[in-house]
Structure formats: structure tokens, C-alpha cells
Amino acid sequence: MLSEGGAPSGRKGEVAVSRDLVRAHEDDDVAAEARHARFGRLPEPVRVEDLIEERPAAAPDPARFAYNSDEWLVRYCA
């Protein structure tokens, strides 16, 4: 069996684990907890209303809606 330094130990059936290996495993656990805290759940769904922006393609022309439907009577029938 291997001792802490990697050399065989004299005890039968016992495996010594390196402190660096244990520390690395604890670091992996901490990293896994951090990943789970950050990515452990799905993000909130995005609504369709938030994906669409409506705005006019061109500036409104005030003369376009200034038509008077009775004006032709004044011009042509007077």
C-alpha cells in the first residue's frame, strides 16, 4: 500500500491519502457548490412582449391627415 508520500506503507489493507489530494477534492466541492449556486436553475423565461419593440418606420407627416373631406364642396361647388 502507499503511504502519504506515495511510498508503500507497512500496514496491510490501509491506503493513506495525500493531504494535497484531499485538499484538491475539497476545492472541487467548493467549485461545484459555486457552479450550482450560479447555474443550478434555469433563467426566468423571456416574454414575447419583451422581445418585440414597436416604433414607427418614418416620422409622422402632419399634412397627411390634414385632409378635409368637405373641402371639395367649397372649391368646386361654390
Question: Quick one: pLDDT at residue 10?
Answer: 53
Residue 49 has pLDDT above 60, yes or no: yes
Q: What is the CA radius of gyration of the chain?
A: 39
Is the pLDDT at 1 greater than 50? The verdict is no
Average pLDDT over residues 33-51: 90
Q: Give me the pLDDT at residue 72, please.
A: 77
| 62: its cell numbers | 402632419
| Cell numbers describing residue 4 | 502519504
What span, in angstroms and rounded, lies between the C-alpha atoms of 40 and 36?
4
Region 42-65: mean pLDDT is: 86
